[in-house]
């Protein structure tokens, strides 16, 4: 497995990480715990060293799963988790945002226990909290780094001004945001800012929440607990319209003797040497398929052709329902 460095930091990880959210949360019922542990360990065996979780996935159960699965390999891997949501103490459901410094420190203690570790490799602010100046957030994480509880500071779905302000207080190692062939907004301002500041980029949903694999059609029915039911981009009409992106990937995949998912990931890897996508899966066969993307070479001509064809396709539907859209890009 190839390695990549996230920006100017010394955090070196596998070129593809594993997003673990879907094992416990978001895409229908949680997977069987033992099966999910075996998928995470299969990733380690295949050279993956970067694993992504968060306290709100579950809540809490995903961190516990990741902690248990990785405890035998703790020295070889980097674990990223996140703070920044307020959770209802009775139901555990998200109840708004909370990035007050004292809350960040509480979350860190809880995450360390659940992950069964003495240090968090990368601690992201999950969403920017408009009620807490980002300088205070960065300062709180800086203290955790000084105490040896956290190694690196990250932001998720932050806008460029926030990134700059945070970075001035505590260097930001990585920004995690959605980025894929069907959501290319970060190319306008975010990626140039990251390049300038020496910050790594961790695209989540690099396969368009599963759509870019070609396995989802307008006929697909999602489980009642699946987050995609409320995503405008996943209405049957939008799926039908957006099939053009998958068809494009399919054509290139045929030429390269690959799958659409592998082309989507190879395209991301080819954007910058400090981009580390974190596709999620609950199946070892899909894990192996995704990791195969690392060996696919897309030439400058391939990239031009994909870029130009993709730019002619208008993707239908917002990537979040309105109440969640308000939380991104601040």
Which residues are part of the catalytic machinery?
Answer: 57
What is the Cα–Cα distance from 185 to 191, expressed in whole angstroms?
Answer: 9
Contact indicator for 152, 141 with CB cutoff of 8 Å? no
Please name the residues in contact with 96: beta carbons below 8 A apart, sequence gap of 6 or more.
85, 86
Question: Which residues have a Cβ under 8 Å from the Cβ of 176 and sit 6 or more positions away?
Answer: 52, 80, 124, 154, 155, 156, 157, 201, 202, 203, 204, 278
Backbone phi, psi, residue 173, to 5°? -80, -40
Compute the residue count for the chain: 330
Q: Name the token pair of 200.
A: 């790594």
Closest CA to 123 of 134, 111, 131: 111
Residue 180's Cβ-side half-sphere holds a number of Cα atoms within 13 Å equal to 26
Question: Which residues does 308 contact at the CB level (< 8 Å), separation at least 6?
Answer: none
172-178 and 78-83 strand pairing: unpaired
């Amino acid at each position: 497995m190839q390695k990549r460095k996230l920006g100017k930091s010394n955090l070196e990880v596998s070129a593809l990480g594993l997003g673990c959210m879907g094992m416990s949360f978001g895409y229908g019922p949680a997977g069987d715990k033992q099966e999910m542990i075996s998928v995470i360990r299969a990733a380690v065996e295949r050279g993956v060293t970067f694993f992504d979780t968060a306290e709100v996935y579950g809540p809490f159960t995903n961190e516990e799963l990741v902690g248990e699965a990785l405890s035998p390999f703790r020295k070889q891997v980097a674990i990223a988790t996140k703070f920044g949501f307020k959770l209802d103490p009775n139901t555990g459901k998200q109840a708004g945002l909370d990035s007050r410094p004292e809350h960040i420190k509480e979350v860190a203690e809880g995450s360390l226990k659940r992950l069964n570790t003495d240090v968090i490799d990368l601690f992201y602010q999950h969403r920017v909290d408009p009620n807490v100046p980002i300088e205070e957030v960065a300062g709180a994480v800086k203290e955790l780094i000084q105490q040896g509880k956290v190694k690196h500071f990250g932001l998720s779905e932050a806008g460029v001004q926030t990134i700059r302000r945070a970075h001035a207080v505590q260097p930001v190692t990585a920004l995690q945001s959605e980025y894929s062939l069907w959501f290319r907004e970060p190319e306008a301002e975010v990626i140039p800012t990251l390049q300038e500041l020496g910050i790594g980029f961790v695209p989540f949903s690099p396969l368009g929440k599963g759509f870019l694999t070609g396995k989802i059609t307008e006929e697909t029915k999602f489980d009642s607990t699946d987050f995609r039911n409320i995503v405008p981009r996943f209405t049957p009409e939008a799926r039908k319209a957006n099939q053009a992106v998958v068809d494009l990937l399919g054509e290139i995949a045929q030429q390269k003797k690959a799958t659409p998912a592998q082309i989507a990931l190879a395209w991301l890897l080819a954007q910058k040497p400090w981009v580390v996508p974190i596709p999620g899966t609950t199946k070892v066969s899909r894990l192996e398929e995704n990791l195969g993307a690392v060996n696919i070479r897309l030439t400058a001509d391939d990239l031009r052709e994909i870029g130009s064809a993709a730019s002619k396709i208008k993707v239908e539907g917002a990537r979040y329902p309105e109440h969640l859209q308000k939380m991104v890009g601040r």
